[in-house]
Each structure stands twice: as structure tokens, then as C-alpha cells.
């Protein structure tokens, strides 16, 4: 998506060689119209897959997932970080490592919202090491759902998460894939 690449160049801030801050439009302050465009683009890539649910993990993936679910006309489910006291006994769970926060965290989805009849599209804002996606794929499998694929706003290809998941046969569509980056330059695939 050329418009996303342009926004990354104009508004993104690279810190070191691994951190890309896009908090002016994606994961702190949200540009609603642009987020809707991203959702429509991701949805169009999975047309005909019979998707019944979009799955993401809280918090910054929710905006892109919501816009994708809106474009597909299906509900959006988000995995909660930490088990809520109100969740019933049927809960799907996975342990993931957050490189941003440098900690392991459990993610949880109520069994009420995913099941064997569902075809799931996982959507997230970033793909770097692939930990959040690995955890969501595990939850989809626990629930007995069919995984249609993964839609990502920004993939940092050089961090290897996408390759690990693609090697498992998982379809991943990224709106902007970054080959390398530094404070002076961002090279897209």
C-alpha cells in the first residue's frame, strides 16, 4: 500500500535499527479515515475466503482489525492481555513474549466468541518477531477454527517473524513490508 509507505516516511520515526514509531496515525493517535482505507485493503486481499471473524490482540491492533472487520461485515474478537475475572471456564489461551514491553504475557479469548465453525482472519498493526501472531494462531487452533490467513499493517521483515510463520504454511499479507531501517533511511521490500 503506497499510501502507508508514504505515511511511514513522512510521519514515522525510527529509533536505532529496530523500533519504528508510527504513533501519530496508527498506535497512539489514530487517523480514522486512513485506518478505514487500510482495513478495506486488507479485506480485499482475503475476499472469497469465507471469513466469519477477525481476531487481534489488544490494544494497538484493534483499530486496523475493526476497520477490516467492518469492510468484511464480520465481528472482531480481540485477545485480552490477562484473564478477566468475568471470563467463564471455556477460555483459549497462549503465552507470548512482548519485545516492546520485555515481558511474557498471557492472552485470552472466551470460548463464546470462537469455535469450529469459524474461519478466522488474524489482523495486527505490526509483525516483527511474530510472538503475538504465534499466540493468536495457537488460540485459533485451540478453538478448532480454520485460519484464512494474517493481515498486517507494517511488517519488519528483517526481524524474522513473518518467515517463521510463512514456513508453517500461514498466508501473510502485509500492507507495508520493511527490509531494513535506520534513523536515516527505511528500505521497503
Structural domain including 125 reads 36-177
pTM of the entire predicted model: 0.93
For the stretch 134-137, contacts whose Cβ atoms lie closer than 8 Å and that sit 24 or more positions apart, written own/partner, are: 134/94, 134/96, 134/161, 134/164, 134/165, 135/57, 135/79, 135/94, 135/95, 135/96, 135/107, 136/55, 136/56, 136/57, 136/79, 136/94, 136/107, 137/165, 137/168, 137/170
Number of domains in the chain: 1
Inside any domain, residue 183: no
Which of 59, 11, 17 has the alpha carbon at shortest distance from 156?
A: 17
Inside any domain, residue 140: yes
Inside any domain, residue 88: yes
CATH code for position 58 = 3.40.50.2020
Inside any domain, residue 79: yes
60 within 8 A of 82, measured Cβ to Cβ: no
The CA distance from 126 to 152, in Å, is 6
Inside any domain, residue 156: yes
Per-residue pLDDT at 84: 64
Residue-wise pLDDT tens digits, 63-105: 999 999 999 999 999 999 866 666 567 899 999 887 777 788 8
Inside any domain, residue 21: no
Inside any domain, residue 19: no
**Whole-number average pLDDT of the chain:** 93
- Parallel, antiparallel, or unpaired: how do β-strands 119-127 and 146-156 relate? parallel
The CA distance from 140 to 138, in Å, is 5
Per-residue pLDDT at 81: 85
Report, as ranges of residue numbers, the positions in the chain whose pLDDT lies below 70. Answer: 82-88
Inside any domain, residue 173: yes
Amino acid at each position: 500500500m503506497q499510501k502507508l509507505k508514504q505515511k511511514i516516511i513522512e510521519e514515522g520515526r525510527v529509533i536505532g535499527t529496530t523500533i519504528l514509531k508510527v504513533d501519530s496515525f496508527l498506535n497512539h493517535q489514530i487517523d480514522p479515515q486512513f485506518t478505514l482505507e487500510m482495513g478495506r485493503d486488507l479485506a480485499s486481499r482475503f475476499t472469497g475466503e469465507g471469513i466469519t471473524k477477525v481476531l487481534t490482540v489488544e490494544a494497538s491492533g484493534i483499530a486496523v482489525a475493526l476497520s477490516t472487520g467492518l469492510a468484511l461485515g464480520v465481528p472482531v474478537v480481540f485477545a485480552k492481555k490477562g484473564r478477566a475475572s468475568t471470563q467463564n471456564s471455556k477460555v483459549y489461551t497462549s503465552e507470548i513474549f512482548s519485545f516492546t514491553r520485555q515481558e511474557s504475557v498471557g492472552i485470552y479469548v472466551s470460548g463464546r466468541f470462537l469455535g469450529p465453525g469459524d474461519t478466522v482472519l488474524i489482523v495486527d498493526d505490526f509483525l516483527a518477531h511474530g510472538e503475538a501472531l504465534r499466540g493468536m494462531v495457537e488460540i485459533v487452533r485451540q478453538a478448532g477454527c480454520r485460519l484464512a490467513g494474517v493481515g498486517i499493517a507494517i511488517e519488519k521483515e528483517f526481524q524474522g517473524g513473518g518467515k517463521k510463520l510463512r514456513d508453517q504454511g500461514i498466508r501473510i499479507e502485509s500492507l507495508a513490508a520493511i527490509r531494513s531501517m535506520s534513523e536515516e533511511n527505511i528500505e521497503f521490500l
